[in-house]
Amino acid sequence: MAITLQLCRIPTRTNLALPETFSGIGTIRCRKPLSVRCSAAGDSSLAVDSDFDAKVFRKNLTRSKNYNRKGFGHKEETLQLMNREYTSDVIKTLKENGNEYTWGNVTVKLAESYGFCWGVERAVQIAYEARKQFPDEKIWLTNEIIHNPSVNKRLEEMKVENIPIEEGKKQFEVVDKGDVVILPAFGAGVDEMLTLNDKNVQIVDTTCPWVSKVWNTVEKHKKGDYTSIIHGKYAHEETVATASFAGTYIIVKNMKEAAYVCDYILGGELDGSSSTREAFLEKFKNAVSKGFDPDRDLIKLGIANQTTMLKGETEEIGKLVERTMMRKYGVKNVNEHFMSFNTICDATQERQDAMYKLVEEDLDLILVVGGWNSSNTSHLQEIAEERGIPSYWIDSEQRIGPGNKIAYKLMHGELVEKENWVPEGPITIGVTSGASTPDKVVEDVLIKLFDIKREEVLQVA
């Protein structure tokens, strides 16, 4: 969906409602209209003329009296509440015993790194603070705060609502002056920030600092006239937001798509997977900036990523692109055609490294607990599947039962149901959870598994 916003000359003190204390902006000028691209999930990104400086706009927005990203002084109180709601005695027992413990005939081995990351905990905690600070105001979310159904349901109970979506477009008209709007851990696109700033609402920004780091990277690409190759999923909230800060960009989901791009750069001499310019544009029609031309825009390339993607694949894509530019333009000229910064999130990397270590254990099965729309959790499942260990990705204990039955997802999202998924007799299981998953959710899943094994013992007796 493309929507044209006629913003060819934007007075900063009227249309953008920026405070008078902002200096150095004056008016933001663009030679062309701004184009808003909406993803299937109702998110959107701006393809703006080079005269519009998204970085300057965001910097000035953060100085507004209506903007907050550090909380409201209720941190200790809200963290205590979160601990009561999300911590687990089962996980505590595992951690106190070297991440391994036996209950009855079930031995559980917990990954060394798992569950809530710092950025997620920070986002949820600030959202809790917002409700404490604004007990009577209407509070909105531009997207789910994180990809976990339990946490999102809890926020719904606290009357924190998602901005409604109709026909793929967010209905920002429901937001009134004086309302509070929370930007989720994934961030928000430039167009959404413009809209909210114009409405003069209270903005509570919980964007993960690692996501902001990626935005800074694509800004550097744009400044140097490099096209950003973003390793990510084009409809994911984070990638939509990142693309809105980029200049020219193309989003590749995996190594196969990256190889297609590199093959096109080399005229079919990499692996022959690419075809014509028209076929290229059709393949990436939802994953490129407006007006993208592969013959013009693949000469200078910079690498960025959705922070939740598989670390090893991002690194391999970067190496492939670098080799491609060396082959195309020569080793001595590669720095003029390739730029790379490390934008892999520490928490994502740590959980993936721990999963690689966990799959080396002698296990009967693995439980991967996390939201079914969680990208980082899908990659934990991918690691287990590639090792050939029976692995079950579920978002809550409700996916288990009745009896010894489970409904789970595979790494690419296929929903599978299986009977008798828990083997008879003593078993050893591995457990991990995505960066948006509270310990309490993992505990609820394990208790369901313990109940199955307890019933088995009773039947034998």
Active-site positions read 238
CB 113 within 8 A of CB 376: no
Neighbours of 25 (CB within 10 A): 16
- The amino acid present at 446, given as its one-letter code, is L
Task: Compute and round to an integer the Cα radius of gyration of the chain.
Answer: 24
CB 432 within 8 A of CB 355: yes
User: Can you read off the two tokens belonging to residue 280?
Assistant: 């290229």
d(CA 229, CA 253): 10
- The amino acid present at 276, given as its one-letter code, is T
Which residues have C-beta within 8 Å of that of residue 10, sequence separation ≥ 6?
Answer: 16, 27, 28, 29, 30
Pairing of strands 227-231, 202-205: unpaired
Q: Which residues pair with 139 in a beta bridge?
A: 160, 180
DSSP string, 119-175: HHHHHHHHHHHHHHH-SSS-EEESS-SSS-HHHHHHHHHTTEEEPPEETTEE-GGG-
CB 362 within 8 A of CB 387: no
CB 347 within 8 A of CB 373: no
Q: Which of 17, 366, 356 is nearest to 196 (CA)?
A: 17
Indicate the SS3 state at residue 68. Answer: strand
End-to-end CA distance of the chain: 62
Indicate the SS3 state at residue 69. Answer: coil
Which residues have C-beta within 8 Å of that of residue 89, sequence separation ≥ 6?
Answer: 443
Pairing of strands 34-38, 2-5: antiparallel
How many helices, marked H, and strands, marked E, lie in the chain?
14, 23
Residue carrying structure tokens 């195309």: 328
CB 327 within 8 A of CB 390: no
d(CA 395, CA 219): 35
